[in-house]
Structure 1
């Protein structure tokens, strides 16, 4: 038991360095203020072009097939020809069994292949299975991995198991970016979101991500605010820059502008590149293109 206590203390000691006692109403008020005062100034064509280049173009449906994923990827190939003046999306995000299809179909440079892995979206399976699935996704062509924390372990206070899993999966990913999904809708409170953010970064996350999109509420501006605050504090204490990815329920250009504004206000210009900022969405791509071009476009 003694050894277990000392392990738990390691995580509690890490959390103790940060303010995790947050007031949800105060966070809400801060977010409302940012949205009211700052979003409008970012509503520009330049920002929309930038946001498009930060998209992880995602298909995670039970109906996905080799053929549908191939067509999905072909659209990304065609984009460069049809819109030569715009930068393409940042990545294509699929289930692990489609990594090879994307790899074999993708013929434009500079676009990553991201796979959700490790028992996505519930993260409810054996760590051995999570590691095997992640290793296979990488072997098949993925160079980014999106995993979900063990939410149940976190909520029951078993930080050790949660963090050990993240660490083992990061060891599997090696230099490939690993995005850690907090499933903020299941965490409920700002304090929980802050704690889960810190522990995920401490355990090896290259990015922290709001949601799987499979649980409601998915991404919210309040969750984004707390996560960006955690990233900022973590960077101040460690020097490590961790990326941020809102995902799930990003349905309008305004939603995307809100997340952009929160990142800009809390983390600054240094985070405004697609190495540190991504948007997990599929429907947003056409909406951004339509606004950039000033006419309805249904390209993807």
Structure 2
């Protein structure tokens, strides 16, 4: 059977009969009834260990990325009783700088790849860029779904690209960014989530952070529902990463609560739940130690 037919068959096993309104109501209820109980020091410490410290600026340079990485090295020395960040996320050209500078065991080196953030490049370019990033030390790859192809109904191209980039990753984990703000509807977000997981994603991620709207609680809820249904169907645990627009500790607590309520405690590890942000690291650290700190 052609790939698209396989995808249609796979999608038929999932509940795609969802509306934006019911998602909004479900999220509203979770926030109103459940977030407050997670507003604790222990949860905030946990969230620090889920941060993917990210620098994806036009002005990034070898020197700035090296200094950025050194702060992570220094963190463990200065705050030995707190969890270190999960990941340093950079452009592929800086993979070598990070991998050669990073001294902290357990911190991953993530690279955005495959013509980030637009994904508008030939697949040969995407796979070569991915392979080079892994060769230079990337242990995780964040790619962007071909959103234009998805919205055109060309699921076959989307699946093929994810599979090829996954192959180029080798042993590195693959995160597929759905760019949920462009997908618009809950049904599209759920369909894209399922497609990405079936094609080989190890994580699904909300956004690049380069377009608005970026991560939203509603998109997170739908993606977590898809992860849960996929797990029920296959027994495979897929990680979740909100990214873009995480501006406050309350934002982090909301995403934590959604994961807890939809997916359960099993997903509340720094491996399965990640947050793509930089500003949040300082905000969480400030709340944990009880005074304003700008460490990172």
TM-score between the two structures when normalised by the length of structure 2: 0.99
RMSD (Å), alpha carbons: 0.7
Cα deviation 1:111-144 (Å, max 9, x = unaligned): 1100000010000000000000000000011010
Give the corresponding residue for 2:255. Answer: 259
Give the Cα–Cα distance (whole angstroms) in 1 for the partners of residues 271 and 293 of structure 2: 27
Give the corresponding residue for 2:103. Answer: 107
Match of 2:291 among 287, 295, 300: 295
Displacement of 1:8 in angstroms is: 2.1
Match of 2:6 among 3, 10, 26: 10
Instruction: Answer yes or no: is 1:204 the counterpart of 2:203.
Output: no
Give the corresponding residue for 1:272. Answer: 268
Displacement of 1:7 in angstroms is: 3.2
Cα deviation 1:56-114 (Å, max 9, x = unaligned): 10000000000000110010000011111101000100000000010111111111100
Give the Cα–Cα distance (whole angstroms) in 2 for the partners of residues 249 and 206 of structure 1: 22
Instruction: Answer yes or no: is 1:186 the counterpart of 2:174.
Output: no
Give the Cα–Cα distance (whole angstroms) in 2 for the partners of residues 8 and 99 of structure 1: 35
Instruction: Answer yes or no: is 1:48 the counterpart of 2:48.
Output: no
Give the Cα–Cα distance (whole angstroms) in 2 for the partners of residues 12 and 23 of structure 1: 20
Give the Cα–Cα distance (whole angstroms) in 1 for the partners of residues 127 and 4 of structure 2: 23
Give the Cα–Cα distance (whole angstroms) in 1 for the partners of residues 171 and 273 of structure 2: 18
Question: 5 Å matches for 1:1-300?
Answer: 6-300=2-296
Displacement of 1:21 in angstroms is: 2.2
Cα deviation 1:40-64 (Å, max 9, x = unaligned): 0000000000000001100000000
Displacement of 1:175 in angstroms is: 2.3
Give the Cα–Cα distance (whole angstroms) in 1 for the partners of residues 170 and 197 of structure 2: 15
SS of residue paired to 1:114: strand
SS of residue paired to 1:93: strand
Structure 2 unaligned blocks of 5 or more: none
Give structure 1 regions of 4+ aligned residues with deviation exceeding 2 angstroms.
none
Displacement of 1:13 in angstroms is: 1.0
SS of residue paired to 1:109: coil
Give the Cα–Cα distance (whole angstroms) in 2 for the partners of residues 176 and 133 of structure 1: 14
Give the Cα–Cα distance (whole angstroms) in 2 for the partners of residues 9 and 118 of structure 1: 26
Displacement of 1:243 in angstroms is: 0.2
SS of residue paired to 2:141: strand
Count residues with an aligned counterpart: 296
SS of residue paired to 2:276: strand
Displacement of 1:203 in angstroms is: 0.2
